[in-house]
Amino acid sequence: MRTFIAIDLDNEIKNNLSQLISRLKKCSTNIKWIKQQGMHLTLKFLGEIPPDKVSEVESLLRKVAEKHSHFLLKFKGTGTFPEGNKRPRILWLGIEYNENLKIFQSELESELEKIHFPRENRKFHPHLTLGRVKSHQDLSLTFSELAKDREKDFGEMIVKKITLFKSTLKPSGAEYTIISEHELK
């Protein structure tokens, strides 16, 4: 099964993002927008894992979660990946720098490496994907509208748990199912 570890977002944050996406949708049909139920902060994409590996991952998540206290996430600003590129592929919402999140994700990465999940090659850049560009035609209005929120605050939430998700790819988009949740202390 295809899996990933993430922080599920509070409904207030999901509503704020949905309002932003609704506004941006009016600018272009050339972007595949994230649905509200799929909004999350990915900490680690595990990919395809056999069902018998799930309990090993869950045990590791319990262990890591129990070592960390709740922490605050602040959602601020918008941008694109690659940054400064005339043909970006991703539109995103930023997450203000947070040392607790950085330490948590780094420890998670290290522990997962011990059970044969390769470490990411690129540096962790926490963000929420808003949409993926399907075609670069007629996107100037979308990008100028997105730029208006480059410094805007979109709310904050206390992270109390991490979630192991199953991802099922469908023609209508990915569908996410919670496998397990692991409370922080």
| 82: preceding bond cis by omega (within 30 degrees) | yes
Active site residue 127: yes
Closest of 13, 133, 1, 140 to residue 73, by C-alpha = 13
**Paired tokens of 137:** 């035609």
Distance CA 97, CA 159 (A): 14
Catalytic choice (70, 127, 136, 182): 127
- In terms of Cα–Cα distance, which of 137, 130, 25 is closest to 79? 130
Catalytic position from the list 40, 116, 125, 136: 40
Q: Catalytic: 40?
A: yes
**Contact call for residues 45 and 151 (beta carbons, < 8 A):** no
As annotated, the active-site residues are 40, 127
